[in-house]
Structure 1
Amino acid sequence: MQRRQVIAGIGGAATLSVAGCLGTDDQGTTLWNEFENGEEETLEEHLDAFNEGRDDELGAENIADMEEQLNTAIPAGDGPETFAWAHDWLGRLHDQEFLHDASGSLDLDIGSEFTADAADAVQWEGGTYGVPYAAETVTLMYNPELVEEPPETLSEMVDIMEDHHDPSSNQFGLSYPPIDPYFVSAFLHAFGGRTFHTDSGELGIEDDEFVEGLELLRDNLWEYVPEDPSYESQMTPFNDGTAPFAINGPWQVSGFRDAGIDATLAPLPDIEGGSPTPYTGIQVWYFTSALGDVDEAATEMTMDWAEWYATTEDVITTNANRHGLIPVHQEYADSDDLGEDVETFLETVETGTLMPADPRMDLVFTPLEDALERVFNGDADAAEAMESAATEIRNRWD
C-alpha cells in the first residue's frame, strides 16, 4: 500500500544511529523504518532500551521511499537485516527473494503469542518472514474547537463539512487523501464490494457493490477536500485548524497534536444501507535476505530485536498510548487500559478487512488510482472507469 510512501515525501532520509560491528557492511546490523516524526522518536527510545548493555548495538535508519530503497539495496547486498512495514508486501517480497525464513530461528511461537490475523500476516507458503507488532487502520478525526460532537452518520458529517467549507478562504471540510485506495477503502467497500477478493483471487472493482461505494465517495466527500490530492496538501487544512475533519491513521495523530490541534478520534460514520469497511494492516518487523550473509551474532540480534519489540510490555503500551497502535500480542489485544485512541482504532479495525498480501496487488493500484481521479474530476462514469481499469489490471497480470 501507498500510505507510508506518501508520508515519506514530507521528510528526507535521516540516520537515527548506526553502531556496532556486526554484519557484512560498515554500518553493522541495521533496521530500516519510514516512521513519521512522533513514531520515530519513540523508536529511538525503544532502540536505546534494547541496546543498553550490549557490546554490539543495533543501528537504525529512517528511510524515505522504503519500497524503492529496498528494491535497490537488497539485490546489491546493502539492505537492512530487518525493516518495519505493513504485512501487505509479504507476497511480493517473497517472490522477489528479498526475505529470510525464520521458521526455525524464533524463540516464540507466532501462532500462540499473537492474534490469528497477526500470525497469518507474517506467514507465506509455509514460511515465517517476520514478527507482527501492531494493527492499524484509518478512522475519523475531528477538531473539537470546530465540532462539538463527532457525527454518527455520513449525512451528519456532510452537514458539518458544508458549514466549514470555503475554498476561497482556504477552508475545507475534510483532510483526506482521496486518490489513495488504502485511505478511501472504507467507502469503496461500504456496500460489500472489495478491491480484491482474497478467497478467490479475483479482482472486485467492476462489481456493482464496489461501484456503488465509489459513487458514495464521489458524491459525499470528494468536493470537501483540497484540489491537490497529494498527502501533504490534504493534511494542511486540518493541521492548520481550518478543517473540522480528517480521516487518517495512528501514524498521523502525534503530528496533528504536535501542531497544536487536539485531534480527537471517533469511529467512521454510519452509512445508510452499508457499513464503512476500511483496509486494516498488521505492522511487521520483516526479516530480509541480508541475514543469509551475516554471522550468527547478527542474525541472533535481529531475531532478538523483533521478538523483544513485539512482546515487551513497555514497547506495546507506549506505542498504544502515544500512537494508537493496536496490540496484536494475545496478552494485550483485549486490554481496556490502553487509552481512548486505541479503543477507537480497535473499534474501526473490527469493522475492517485485512489488506491482501497477494503480489498481484502491486499491479492494481496505479490503474485504480488513475480511474479514481477520472471519476472524481467528472471525466468518467464510475462503472465505465472501473471496467477500463479492470481491463488494464488483468492485462498487466497476464
Structure 2
Amino acid sequence: MTMDRRTLLKNLGVAGGIGALAGCVGVQEQGETDSSGGDSNGGGSSGGSGNESGSDSTESSGPAGTAKAWYALSDTELPTREENIEAFNNESKHTIEGADISDMRKKTTSAIPAGQGPKTFEWAHDLAGDYLDRGFIVGRGDSLNVNLDQFTGTAAEAAQFDGNVVGLPHTAETVALVYNTDIVDEAPETVADMQSVMDEFHDPGNNKYGMGMPFADPYFLSAWAHAFGGYYFDSSKEDMLGVDNQETIRGIQFAVDNFVPYMPNDPAYEPQASAFAEGNAAFAINGPWYLNTLNEKGVNYEVVKLPKPEGGEPRPYTGITLWYFSKSMENDDAGTAAAQEFIEWYVTNEDIQQQAAEETGSIPVLKSVAEGGDLPANVQGFSNAVAQGYPMPADPMMNQVWDPVKAALTKGFNGQSVEQAMKTAAEEIRSNWE
C-alpha cells in the first residue's frame, strides 16, 4: 500500500488534479536518456551562492567523474531540473547525466542489483528501510561535507535510518488546511473555530459541505490519529503497533465525530477533493499537489497549518524527498565524488529551493529558506504544517499497516465502531507480520 500511495503522491507533483488519481501524471519514459540539456538560467544558474556546505565544486580534489541521477517529475518540474543539472555541470569539473524515469521503484529494484542503476536517485524517504535492508542504498554519513543541522528537524530525521545517513533532503510534503476565502473570513486556529463556520455553511441538500477530506486514507487522517498521543507504528516503542491503543482510537473517533458530519458521504479522494475544488465546501484538508487543481478551477483559497483539537495537537505524517546514495556510492570512485558533490550542491542551494517554492509550490527543508520568511503564502502554510508533524515510518514493517487501517477508517466513516474496527486492523497487521 505505501509504495502505491507514495508513487501516487510523488507523481502527482504540482500538476496533479483530481482526475489524475487513476494513474501517473506527467511522468515521461525517457529510460537512460541524458536530460542535462536546456538553458542554464534556472534556479541553479546563480551558482553555489546558496551552498552552505563550505565545499567548492570547482576545486574538489581527484579526477573528474560522471554520474547518473534518476528522478520522476511532472512536466512543470522537468525543465527546471534540467536547467539545474546544466548549471552544476557548467561550474563543476564533474558531470551529472540526468534521466526522467517512470516506475522508479521497478527500475531501481532491477537496475541497482545488476550494477546498472544510477549513482543517486530522488524519491520519498519512506522506502529507506526496505532499500537499506536489500542493499540498494548505503549510508555515507562519515563522508559528507554537509551538516544535517542545516535542514529542518523533520528533514534531518527522514534522511537517516538505523544509524545511517542514506541521502540528503530537499523538499517536503504533508497535508494542511485549505479554506475558501469567499466563504471563510479568517483562518481558524482550533477545530471549534472550524465547526462554527461549518455549521453555518453545511447544507448537503443543496450540495454545500463544511469540508472535504479523503477520510479513508491513513496518510490524510494521521494528524488526528496522532493528535492525542496515538500512533500507527513506531519502531522505537516496545509495542511498535499503536493502531489499537486508546490514544489512537481517541484520535480517529475525534475525526469521526467532528469532521464526518460535514463531509460528502463517500470517503474516497475524488468526491472529497471535488467538493472543495468546485467551490462547494468551506474547508479542505489536502496536500500541495492539490493546488494546481484549485488554481485551474479558479477557487479563491488560502493554506494554513492544521487547527488544534481541544486537548491535543495535530501531528500529520510528512514525506521528505531525498537524493538517495545508491549502492554504487559505496565505492569511492570519481563517479561517487561527482554524485556526492552534486547532491550537496543541490540540497544546499538556496536559489534552487526558493525558485521551486515560487514556481511549483515546493516546500523547502533547507532552514535558511524554510525559515527565511520569503516563501509564497500558500507554501508557507504547508511549511508550517510540516513543522507540526513528523516523518512517515521508513521501516519495511509499515508496509503491512496501511491497508488494514484504510479498511478500519472506512468502517468508522460509515458508522461502525471505531474501536472494533481498529482492533480488527491490528489483529490483521500482527498476523501479517508473523
Taking structure 1 as the reference length, what is the TM-score of the superposition? 0.83
Give, as a single letter, the amino acid of the residue that structure 1 aligns with 2:122: A
The CA deviation at 1:239 is 2.7
**For 1:10 and 1:243, how far apart are their aligned partners in 2?**
27
Q: Distance in 1 between matches of 2:272 and 2:74?
A: 16
| Pair 1:189–1:125, CA change in 2 (3 A) | closer
8 Å Cα contact 1:32-1:84 kept in structure 2:
yes
Residue 139 of structure 1 corresponds to 176
Q: CA deviation at 1:70?
A: 4.1
How do residues 374-389 of structure 1 correspond to structure 2 at under 5 angstroms? 374-378=411-415, 380-389=416-425
1:94 matched residue in structure 2: 132
* Structure 2 residues without counterparts, runs of 5 or longer: 12-22, 37-66
Q: How far, CA to CA, are the matches of 1:263 and 1:58 in structure 2?
A: 39
Measured in 2, the distance between the counterparts of 1:309 and 1:258 equals 31
Does residue 263 of the first structure (1) align with residue 301 of the second (2)? yes
> Residue 6 of structure 1 corresponds to which residue in structure 2?
8
Match of 1:59 in 2: 98
Corresponding position of 1:152:
189
Secondary structure of the structure 2 residue equivalent to 1:286: strand
Listed one character per residue, the Cα deviations across residues 57-101 of structure 1 (whole Å, up to 9, x for unaligned) are: 52231535x445544554566654433333222112211222133
Residue 275 (structure 1) aligned with residue 313 (structure 2): yes
* 1:29 lines up with 2:31 in the alignment: no
In structure 2, C-alpha distance between the alignment counterparts of 1:197 and 1:20, rounded to whole Å: 39
Q: 1:338 aligns with which of 355, 372, 375?
A: 375
2:422 equivalent to 1:390: no
Aligned residue type for 2:188: P
* 8 Å CA contact retained: 1:253, 1:323: no
SS in structure 2 of the partner of residue 341 of structure 1: helix
CA 1:63–1:164 in structure 2 vs 1: closer, same or farther (change >3 Å)? farther
User: Over aligned residues, Cα RMSD in angstroms?
Assistant: 3.3
Q: Residue 308 of structure 1 aligns with which residue? A: 345
Query: Which is worse superposed, 83-92 or 321-330?
Result: 321-330
Where does the alignment leave 5 or more consecutive residues of structure 1 unmatched? Answer: 22-27
Report whether the alignment pairs 1:234 with 2:251.
no
Letter of the 2:400 partner, please give it: L
Q: What is the CA–CA distance in structure 1 between the aligned matches of 2:241 and 2:293, rounded to whole Å? A: 35
For 1:116 and 1:311, locate their aligned partners in 2 and report how far apart those are by CA, in whole Å.
Answer: 15
Shift of 1:272: 1.7
Letter in 2 for 1:13: V
Q: For 1:256-286, what per-residue CA distance to the aligned partner results, in whole angstroms no more than 9, with x for missing partners?
A: 3244333311221221222212123332111
Distance in 1 of aligned mates of 2:381 and 2:206: 32
1:113-262 equivalence runs, <5 A: 113-165=150-202, 171-201=208-238, 202-262=240-300
Deviations 1:171-220, CA, capped at 9 Å, x for gaps: 44333221221211111112121112343152111111111111111122
Displacement of 1:238 in angstroms is 2.6
CA contact (8 A) 1:110 1:119 kept: no
After superposition, the Cα gap between the structure-2 partners of 1:167 and 1:324, relative to the gap in structure 1 and judged at 3 Å, is same
* Structure 1 residues 392 and 123, CA gap change in structure 2 (3 angstroms): same
2:355 corresponds to: 318
Q: Is the 8 A contact 2:157 2:391 kept in 1?
A: no
Question: In the TM superposition, what is the alpha-carbon distance from 1:221 to its structure 2 partner?
Answer: 1.9
Residue in 2 aligned with 1:84? 122
Instruction: Give the aligned partner of residue 17 of structure 2.
Output: none
Q: Deviations over 1:204-250 (max 9, x none)?
A: 11111111111111122234444454434433233333332221223
Percent identity for Structure 1 against Structure 2? 40
Structure 2: distance between partners of 1:247 and 1:300: 42
How many angstroms apart in 1 are the aligned matches of 2:206 and 2:119?
49
1:388 Cα offset (Å):
1.3
Identify the residue that residue 25 of structure 1 maps to in structure 2.
none
What CA distance in whole angstroms lies between the structure 1 residues aligned with 2:28 and 2:364?
A: 27
Query: Separation in 2 of the partners of 1:183 and 1:20?
Result: 34
2:18 is aligned to none
Deviation at 1:46, TM superposition (A): 3.1
> Residue 44 of structure 1: CA displacement?
4.5
> 1:19 matched to which residue of 2?
34
Number of matched residues? Answer: 388
Q: Aligned partners of 2:387, 2:153: CA distance in 1, in Å?
A: 13
Q: State the alpha-carbon separation in 2 of the partners of residues 166 and 39 from structure 1.
A: 39
Shift of 1:311: 0.8
State the alpha-carbon separation in 1 of the partners of residues 164 and 211 from structure 2: 42
Give distance in 2, aligned partners of 1:80 and 1:225.
Answer: 45
Question: What SS does the corresponding residue of 1:179 show, helix, strand or coil?
Answer: coil
Return the letter of the residue paired with 2:28. A
Q: Provide the C-alpha distance between the structure 2 equivalents of 1:304 and 1:243, rounded to a whole number of angstroms.
A: 47
Extract structure 1 runs of 4+ deviating beyond 6 A. none
Q: State the AA in 1 paired with 2:341.
A: D
In 2, are the aligned partners of 1:20 and 1:29 still within 8 Å (CA)? Answer: no
Q: Pairwise mapping of residues 342-357 of structure 1 onto structure 2 (< 5 A)?
A: 342-357=379-394
Shift in Å, 1:333: 4.4
| Contact 2:96/2:339, CA 8 A, preserved across alignment | no
Q: How much does 1:382 deviate?
A: 0.9
Tell me the distance in 1 between the aligned counterparts of 2:150 and 2:221. 32
CA distance in 2, matches of 1:258, 1:121: 33
**Aligned partner of residue 265 in structure 1, secondary structure:** strand
Rounded Cα–Cα distance in structure 1 between residues aligned with 2:117 and 2:202: 46
TM-score by length of 2: 0.77
Q: Distance in 2 between matches of 1:20 and 1:136?
A: 25
